[in-house]
Structure 1
């Protein structure tokens, strides 16, 4: 008696994988799920706005014969250099060094603050070049993209301040310090922050490349 083996169809495979995907989502901590969903939704928003910027810039260039203002170049250098500090942050946490964790968090916050400052300076330089928010669509998209990106970075900076406060509480109480070092929840928060920060960095690098090509 022979038995015939049939290969599952594509639809059947999708039905089988769907419950496992739900289980994986349910196993995530709410913070993890929130950060992942935020990155996916934000990525989609940035994608649509970036495509709209490129299309409008092709039809009507932002500024002919001009270059992207130098403050944007400085802010790009700052956010790329922050990779060193985020790696140091994880290293300090893994080696139970709350003082270095706090110092590194302050450094990351300072880098973010300087990034925002140079972005504002870049806006001023753009207006001096004649790129106004209400002038042409491509110029409007440029301001919208940089503004939304800045809001994402400010959100990360607020989280940095919350972590600094938590580390200060730990350093003032040895018992809390022991819990802090042994708590996987703290490790998860720091690594989620680093992941989100890298997401913000990658988004900016893509936008920066588009702006350089458009100007």
Structure 2
């Protein structure tokens, strides 16, 4: 059956899609570990522009943490077969995730207004690193929003409920990971900037 997610497990007890998701998460962790390590090494080399981080990054962090709360509530609603709450919480998660991305775009605009650029002759490595860290995270967040939209559509088609939780479980894990990754990045940038 095309489009159906069968709730089968391997002999190890882990569903293949859940295993694949954990491999993706591990690879993203390794990528951001490399980025943040390179940030520290490059900063120590000198020629590092000091500037304040955009103020709205604090608000954006709050939006993403709140979206994670709504994502968890959506999962709980699915477990209780409360499909109306499931849809409401998923819409709220989508809205807050989108607001986060808009806030990140505005943060980039703030950086440009302060003459902090990515690449080119006017760029400093500190600004470029900030664009890369926030941009790559933003890309992954867009994939998370698409995933949430797919789960929401599945909810409207009554394919997400207590007997079919795999979609929303995978989505919840990924969304919490993206939220946790952003909190790490925000703290890293605040402490190392």
Alignment TM-score, normalising by the size of structure 2: 0.86
Out of 173, 178, 187, which is 1:195 matched to? Answer: 173
Give the match for residue 29 of structure 1: 15
Say whether 1:153 aligns with 2:131. Answer: no
**Which 4+ stretches in 1 moved above 4 angstroms?**
none
* Deviation (angstroms), 1:61: 6.5
Query: Following TM superposition, by how much is the alpha carbon of 1:181 offset from its aligned partner in structure 2, in angstroms?
Result: 3.3
Structure 2: runs of 5+ lacking an equivalent: 1-9
- Contact 2:80–2:162 (Cα < 8 Å) also in 1: no
> 1:39 aligned to 25, 37, 43, which one?
25
User: Does residue 115 of structure 2 align to residue 137 of structure 1?
Assistant: no
Match of 1:81 among 46, 51, 66: 66
1:57-103 residue CA offsets vs partner (Å, 9 max, x unmatched): 33346543x32111211111111122321221122112111111011
Kindly report which structure 2 residues correspond to 1:85-124, keeping only aligned pairs within 5 A, or say none. 85-124=70-109
Deviations 1:90-124 (A, max 9, x none): 22112111111011111000011000000010011
Q: How many angstroms apart in 2 are the aligned matches of 1:92 and 1:53?
A: 41
Structure 1 spans left out of the alignment, 5+ residues: 1-21, 171-175
Whether the 8 Å contact between 1:133 and 1:143 is mirrored in structure 2 is yes
CA contact (8 A) 2:118 2:128 kept: yes
Structure of larger gyration radius: 1
- 1:112–1:157 CA contact under 8 A, matched in 2: yes
Whole-Å separation in 1 of the counterparts to 2:85 and 2:177? 24
CA distance, structure 1, for counterparts of residue 189 and residue 80 of structure 2: 40
- Counterpart position of 1:162: 150
1:23 shift after superposition: 5.5
Paired residues in the alignment total: 181
Work out whether 1:54 is the aligned partner of 2:36: no
Worse overlay, 87-96 or 113-122: 87-96
Is the 8 Å Cα contact of residues 62 and 131 (structure 1) preserved in structure 2? no
Cα pair distance change 1:142/1:182, threshold 3 Å: closer
The residue that corresponds to 1:13 in the other structure is none
Structure with the higher fraction of residues in helix conformation: 1
